[in-house]
Amino acid sequence: MNSVLITSDIRAALTEVLAAIPHDRLFILTDDTTSRLCLPLLANMPAVAAAAHIEIGSTDAHKTLDTLADVWTWLGEGGATRHSLLVNLGGGMVTDLGGFAASTFKRGMAYVNIPTTLLSMVDASVGGKTGINFRGLKNEIGVFSLPHTVLIHTPFLRTLDAANICSGYAEMLKHGLLSDAAHLESLLAFDLQRLCHAVAHPSPEHEAAAAALLQTLAEQVGTSVRVKEQVVEEDPRELGIRKALNLGHTAGHAFESYSRRQGRPLLHGYAVAYGLICELYLSCVRTGFPTSLMRSVVTFIRENYGSYDITCDDYEALYELMTHDKKNTSGCVNFTLLGGVRDIRIDQLADRDAIFDMLDFYREGC
């Protein structure tokens, strides 16, 4: 398993990590947002003074083969070799695409992830999944390739807007469902809207509340990362129990891909949140997940994430997208479901009628 370090001093931690990784050239990949908001924290560091900076467009719209080819081109023109090192500074799009670029350039060079969004801290940057979207399908092309190190610096969360905080928190809810009741209860009790407001509207009178809420969130991030690390260590290539991390994602990826197709793209975590509604309902029907707990989670999601409006006319397209999910075998739609908190049921198949019933539950407001 790669090394995941949570640090309050990103400059010192990165200096130490770079000293521990032999490399002939250093490259730093950002998107245009993290270049402006996060890269300045690394400015004037002797360890990165000679680094070449590669900047790509932000948002999932740039997680494409064209952008990947651009990164390969910049690495080649910058003299990168398989002994070079790439630092990915950004959200999940940057760490996914940058990890894939590093893992395939010259048949593989080392890379370090510095996640700057909540989503990438607790999910995308950890675990070694890399890739790009292709032909309208989420993460269709990629490889398993672990970063040398992941450096998590939670003060980066102050650079986020409310939507991106909520997006990452959905993956934390998933980890709570996979771990234990106490952790899930603390996540459902957290005042997410108050934190979002305090961060989105910084002011002296809100600073104390924001600092306290961010400290609580940082502690929850640590717990969430440990949940994912434990699963990945047991099953690094998703042959068994790592499929647990797909909870909410079969339906969620369909929502995400369909939203892009419709020109009203969802952030990944919002799509996962809506996927959790669907798949917890399916868990109630198929594997005995407690209805009362399902409704508690659904209420939290409805209050903090709103909804992505669909009609029954959208069902066929969403079902078709689910049939293309990478987890499927023999053409069947494969879900990870729960019998209860931490009672994980992988490889649960559902047919078209069951999926349409699940979408009915989602659409009718539960």
Catalytic, out of 153, 174, 228, 243: 228
User: How big is the CA angle at 29 (ends 23 and 35), to the nearest 5 degrees?
Assistant: 135
Give whole-number Cα distances, 73 to 96, 109, 157, 179, 189, in Å: 17, 15, 31, 42, 47
Catalytic, out of 253, 279, 304, 345: 253
Catalytic, out of 113, 153, 175, 238: 238
Catalytic, out of 171, 174, 304, 334: 171
Which helix (H) or strand (E) is 188 found in, with range? helix 181-189
268 noted as active-site residue: yes
55 noted as active-site residue: no
Max Cα distance, the chain (Å): 60
164 noted as active-site residue: no
Catalytic, out of 249, 279, 304, 334: 249
Closest CA to 51 of 33, 24, 69, 76: 24
Task: Please say whether the beta carbons of 266 and 166 come within 8 A.
Answer: no
107 noted as active-site residue: yes
Residues 6+ positions from 233 with CB-CB distance below 8 Å: 1
129 noted as active-site residue: yes
Give me the residues paired with residue 115 across strands: 90
Catalytic, out of 55, 62, 113, 129: 129
Beta strands in the chain (DSSP E): 3-6, 26-31, 52-56, 85-90, 110-115, 132-134, 137-141, 149-152, 333-340, 343-350
Catalytic, out of 107, 135, 205, 364: 107
Closest CA to 68 of 78, 79, 56, 59: 56
153 noted as active-site residue: no
249 noted as active-site residue: yes
201 noted as active-site residue: no
148 noted as active-site residue: no
Catalytic, out of 246, 256, 286, 304: 246
Catalytic, out of 242, 243, 286, 345: 242
53 noted as active-site residue: no
What's the distance, CA 154 to chain centroid? 15
- Enzyme catalytic residues: 107, 129, 171, 228, 238, 242, 246, 249, 253, 268
